[in-house]
Each structure stands twice: as structure tokens, then as C-alpha cells.
Structure 1
């Protein structure tokens, strides 16, 4: 039995929520080998099975995706058995990962071509950030180029945006780095709360978008190409105080904010980053043991902590 793996990702931030250059969205992130969803494809007509705990929200999304594929293809699909799950709405792009990988695997099993537009439409993802929808078919560091402003009616999260196509994306190998990711609060915002957050905070001032884009092209990308970890962390640290990311930090739970205050007090070269709208925070480093020791000195205990390869 072949087991399919849907990789997670950390999302470093949306770069252009101002409409600068008549474009919108775009972002950067890293693909991770762990945690991940795992599922298998079974005999046609067997439907969807869950051999592990899966949230009601995700079950509904998987069923909707399955029904959309069945309508698109016009025949009975292979069954799906989800055998390993991870939480959703924690900032790791888990829903995007599982839905996108299910679509691709079913089309591969049926030997049917899959266009980028079909992938976006059937999974219902990729309408804002292209990091998650690209992460299961790309590796390492991803720089999503965003989309023309005319293709989107306003500022909104991926779950509430209708994708017309897959965003262009630049990828770079970053396998010399690890990602230490953890969280101190159980779950982040989603649904209407996330939509309201976008409506309240967008558009972002153009100067902040300009600075974010300049940091990525002039500092972050060179740091990965040149394996300059100090410059990498400087770049990621600066991005925490700009654009939508600055405002995402403001809505975190008290436990997450307290840990950030502790991290700032260390005056460390390791940048503590917020993934998506949280509550997962992370550090990109070639020295995960040092980062783990620093986390261990904190008086509070994280809900989750993991060291992942960037793959």
C-alpha cells in the first residue's frame, strides 16, 4: 500500500497587502518534513475513511474536495483513508497541504493531467498565499510572487479567496537549515475572525510593503544562496515588524506574547518568527540544539515543539 505524505510549512509572511505595483499578496516560507498528514488511496467507491482523529472542520473540507473531484472527473474515485493527521489553524498550512496532495494523488492514480487552475479550484486553496499550495510540489525556501491586483476583488485569506491560477513561485534549496517550531497557545484565528482581521488591517501602507519586498530580494534570498545564517536571521527578524506580520503578532494569545518578550530579552541572533497568523512560532537555524536549550530555559512549557528538516 502506497502512503502519501502531505508536508507542512512555515509561512514567514505576506509581503504586499497594499496593492503596490498593482499586485497583491505574495509571500515567503519553508517546507517541512514534519509534522505531516499521511493517507492512502483505496478501491474505487469506498469513499473517505479516517483511521485517526480529524477535526470536523477538516472532514468537511476533505469531503467537499472529494465531491468536487468526482463532479470534475465524472466517475467513481479511489477511496481515501487518512491515517495520520495534524491540527489545523495553527499556522503550519496543514489544510492546504492535505487538500492539495489529495487532488494531485487522485489525478495521478487515474492517469489524468492536472492543470494548476484545476489544482487551485478543486482544493479551494491558493487564493491569497501561494506558499502552501506550492509547498507539496516544491522544496526548501519558497518565494511566492503574488498576483495582479485585477485578479482579486479585495484583501482576504486563502480560505475565502477564489483562486484563478497558481501563483508564480521561486524555490531555493535550504537543506543546510533546520526549523525549530513550537507554540504556546492551542489554536489561531480562522473563518470570519481571520476575514475580519484582513478587512481591519488592509491595505497596508505602501512603504511597509516596499521595505518587505526589498528585504526579501536584497537580503533574505542572498542569505540563503550564500549560506549566511546571520543575514538570514536579520532579514527574518526585520520582517516581523513590517506589514501584516507586525499586525499578526498583535493578535496573538498572552502565552505567545510572553514567550516573545522572553526571546527579545535574550538579545539573540536567532530571529523568532510567527508562522502565518499563528500561534506557531519558529526559528530557522543550522544549530537547533542551541535554540532548544534557549527554549528550555523559559519558565513556561510549549504545547508543541518539533525540530524539522527543511525539504
Structure 2
């Protein structure tokens, strides 16, 4: 059995203040490319993770993917109370800790495969709870489930009283409060520079604890931009308004904190992408992946991206939104 999952952009966290009794909240866009492929079959008593040409992927990615798949599989096996092993084979990949959500997609994919091979029809939301994803943002779970443009409502502070990233939070995945079809004629140019990976592990926990709570005025401004500019722009397919909102978001709330911790080249690349005509340019999660949204001038934006990466290297992917979730075969 094989599952193909999308990737996702995490546009912003919404409320890391909590004055109104909820924290977190998130906005995201599901992507057609890059994607992950994971195959599984029952075998033996252990959990084995194999890769096609692992030497080309590098030890860091192989080790990270292996750990995430094994952890998710162990949690699902324990939940189901089964006594068997599984062999997983990872097909297509994309970088870990890059802002594209590989951890959630791998964990959900492993959990989904095991549940289906054991004739257990769990919802994707239930699987996320079992494998420990969605403790801060619900975007990755919703992207896996239904795709599209997603807004989640965060967590009640009774359930999650503190500011923590998903990797350190036991909270359940938050409710999805809006999900729209994202215009597929808008192109999304991903720029993944060869700089330090985004925050993870203890470093990410320390950032949340050091910079939160965010001033409530920042949260209120961001909420205004989301509700009265970004979301209507998606519904009305208004690229200029959408891009303008994305540009504003980079300087507000927790996203402003995420940018303050980046290599200076990140801002330089973003400026070049905007100058090339991209309607909006943002950073996904803690980066380093950047995204430029455009329609007719993909070549100009891509050329600017190549120029920006000529000294530091990196990857450019031209993609679009995916308005559906993970797919199964076999």
C-alpha cells in the first residue's frame, strides 16, 4: 500500500498572546509539489525504513525521516494493540525542517497506512492525535486530509495553557474554521536557499518561551488583515489583494519574530522576488523556504530566484495549490 502526501506552506501563526482564551491558530496553503511517497507492508516484528538511493539524500534527511516514521508507527501499533512489524519504503522526499511540513506528513502517512492495513477506519484527525501531531498548528493535518487554503482556530487555553511548538505540545489538533479552494492558476515559486534550517527541537521551544506572549495589539492587527484582506482575496481570487496581505503579514506578530532570527540573505531574496513582480512573498513557518505568489510572470520571478541563489545555492520549485489531500493506492 502506497500513500502520496502533499506539502504545505505555513503562512503564519495567529495568536501567541492568549488574551481571549485561545492560543495558536494558523493559516496555510496545501501544495501540489513537492510531495512525499511512503509505501508500507507488514513484515517481521520490527519497524524497518528503507530508501531509494539513500546516499543521494544524505544522512541527515535519512536519519530524520527514519526517526519520524518509526515514532509514528510505534504509537499507532501501541494504540491498535497489535503485535507485528512493518517495512516502510520512502519514495519521493523534500528537506526536513525547511518550512514545508515533512514531519506531519510522514507521521500521518505512517499512521494511516498501519491503520488501513489493520482494517481500522480512523479519521485523519484521530490519527494525528495518536501520532502526536497538531499540538500547535492544524495546517499539516488539514492539508493531509482535504488540502486547499486552511485556517485553524487554535487551542483553548484550558487545553493548552502555554506557548509551545507542535513537537513539544500534547494538545489535540485544533479545529478548522475555514477551508477554501485556492486558485490553481496562481503559481507559487518556492525558493529553498542553502542556509541554516528552520528552528526545531529545543531551539524551537526556547524561541516560543522567549518571545511569547506577543503583544495583543500585534495579534489584533494580524487578525484584521487575515479576516478582511487575505481570506476574502482567496474567495474572490484577487491576486493583488492576496499578495499585499502576504507582504503585510511578514512584519506582524510571531512572523516578525521568525524573520528576526533569519540569515540576512532571506530578506535580500524576498526583496528580489518582489522586485521581479511577485504579488506577494513570504516565509513558510521558520523557513528557510520562501514562497512567491504570481500568475503571468513566473519566468521573471524564477529568474530573480536563480540570481539570488547564485552565491549560496539552493532549490527552486514552481508549483501550485493542491485542493485535495493525500492519496492512496495499492
State the TM-score, normalized to the length of structure 1.
0.92
In the TM superposition, residue 101 of structure 1 has moved relative to its aligned partner by 2.0
Q: Does structure 1 residue 210 correspond to structure 2 residue 217?
A: no
Per the alignment, residue 107 of structure 1 pairs with 115
Output the CA distance in 2 between the equivalents of 1:32 and 1:13: 16
Give 2:3's aligned residue. Answer: 4
Residue 181 (structure 1) aligns with: 190
Q: How many residues align?
A: 309
Q: What is the CA distance between 1:152 and its match in structure 2?
A: 0.5
Q: Please give the per-residue CA displacement for 1:38-92, whole angstroms capped at 9, x wherever unaligned.
A: 1112234373231233432332222121111111112225532222322210110
SS in structure 2 of the partner of residue 183 of structure 1: strand
* Contact 2:270/2:282 (<8 A) preserved: no
- List alignment gaps of at least 5 residues for structure 1: none
Partner of 2:150, secondary structure, is strand
- Confirm or deny: 8 A CA contact 1:177 1:286 kept in the other structure: yes
What residue is the counterpart of 2:65 in the other structure?
58
TM-aligned CA deviation for residue 299 of structure 1: 6.8
Whole-Å Cα distance in 2 between the matches of residues 290 and 262 of structure 1? 10
Match of 1:304 among 315, 323, 326: 315
1:156 and 2:164 equivalent?
A: yes
Counterpart position of 1:97: 105
| Alignment correspondent of 1:198 | 208
Q: Distance in 1 between matches of 2:253 and 2:292?
A: 20
Find the counterpart in structure 2 of residue 277 from structure 1. 286
Measured in 2, the distance between the counterparts of 1:117 and 1:310 equals 21
Aligned partners of 1:227 and 1:261: how far apart in 2?
24
Secondary structure in structure 2 of the residue aligned to 1:28: strand
Deviation of 1:21 (Å): 1.7
Describe the shift of the 1:51–1:268 C-alpha distance in structure 2 as closer, same or farther (beyond 3 A).
closer
Gap runs ≥5 in structure 2: 55-60, 323-330
Q: Deviations over 1:2-33 (max 9, x none)?
A: 43112111110101111132111111111112
Cα 1:72–1:201 shift into 2, 3 Å: same
Alpha-carbon RMSD across the aligned residues, in angstroms, is 2.1
**Comparing 236-245 with 289-298, which one deviates more in the overlay?**
289-298
TM-score w.r.t. the length of structure 2 is 0.87
Give 3-state SS (helix, strand or coil) of 1:151's partner. Answer: coil
Cα 1:115–1:262 shift into 2, 3 Å = closer
Any conservation in 2 of the 1:39–1:80 contact (CA below 8 Å)? yes
